[in-house]
Amino acid sequence: MNIFSVLVIARKELKDAMRNRWLALYASIFGTLSFSIAWLALSGTSSYGSIGFGRTAASLINMVILIVPLMGLTLGALSIAGERDKKTMLYLLAQPVSKFEIIIGKYLGLSLALIISLICGFGVSGIFITFKGEALQPTLYGAFILLTILLALVTLSFGFLISVIVQKSVTAISAALFTWLFLVLFTDLGLMGTALILNLGINELFVLTLSNPLQVYKITAILTLRSSLEVLGPGGIYATRTYGSFLLPGLLTLLSMSVVIPLGLCYAVLCVKKDLR
């Protein structure tokens, strides 16, 4: 792999992404919502500080699950399909670069664009919490930001996979929105309905929960911020007692695999496909 070629593609992709109106819109919405949630959470406490931060973090988790996957999926879905629509994919492949370098370069550029957007959004709420609160708990807040970035990378990988499977960018966006809707709905409410219909036990329900990266992120974030999953009820207590100290590393491994596996499938599909116009 030629690192210089990857960096050139990543730089070009980053510039294009920063001019993308959708990314600007998502970043604005994310920053506005994070500030609003921080303001509402802190204004409802008689004394700021750790209690206010705990309420803010809990509210931010639900906001992240809605907004961040939408950002990653739509940006990823337009990565390859957009090149096809602009008739630039064949030109790109005609250059002295491999398909692997193209995927890594484009993924790296879009990842940096997402990371910048998320850090700006979290920076707004972080500054407000620091201004209003007595203790931001920077270690926990930083861990929460890193977890959110990991979730963004996961959904970006799924977006890339969608982008190489479909031909048109319109179809890719539609598939990304459907995937986002499925993942969001397949959280607490969807799992409860599935458990009732299939009469699942606590073990089967927990395994089913781990099949959704949004749920894995949610469990990991709660475990990181609270050091306990009791807030999740019997399922959280079961997970803590069954897996103990291995639970957090296992969840992080699952999230990391959710980044690597879709990218590997993306490369495999791109190598098999003959029609790349």
Q: Identify whether 189 is part of a domain.
A: no
Say if 210 falls within a structural domain.
no
Q: In this structure, is residue 156 part of a structural domain?
A: yes
| Number of domains present in the structure of the chain | 1
In a domain, 91, yes or no: yes
CB neighbourhood size of 219 (10 A): 22
Q: What are phi and psi of 178, to 5 degrees?
A: -65, -45
**Would residue 202 count as lying in a domain?**
no
Please give the structure tokens belonging to residue 121. 């959004």
Q: Is residue 100 part of a domain?
A: yes
Angle at 161 between CA 113 and CA 100, to 5 degrees: 75
| Cα–Cα distance measured from residue 106 to residue 163, given in angstroms and rounded to the nearest whole number | 12
Q: Where are the alpha helices (DSSP H) in 49-137?
A: 50-85, 89-94, 99-132
Q: Which single residue is written with the structure tokens 């491999």?
A: 98
Asked if 55 and 45 touch (Cβ cutoff 8 Å), the reply is yes
Instruction: Encode the chain (277 residues) as per-residue pLDDT tens digits.
Output: 778 888 888 888 888 888 877 788 888 888 888 777 777 766 655 444 444 455 667 778 888 888 899 989 998 888 888 777 777 777 777 777 888 888 898 999 999 999 998 888 887 777 766 666 545 567 777 888 899 999 999 999 999 999 888 878 888 889 999 999 888 876 655 555 555 566 666 676 777 778 888 888 988 888 887 666 665 666 667 777 777 778 888 889 999 999 999 999 988 888 877 655 5
Q: Contact, 187 vs 214, CB < 8 A?
A: yes
State which residues form the domain around 13.
Answer: 3-184+262-272
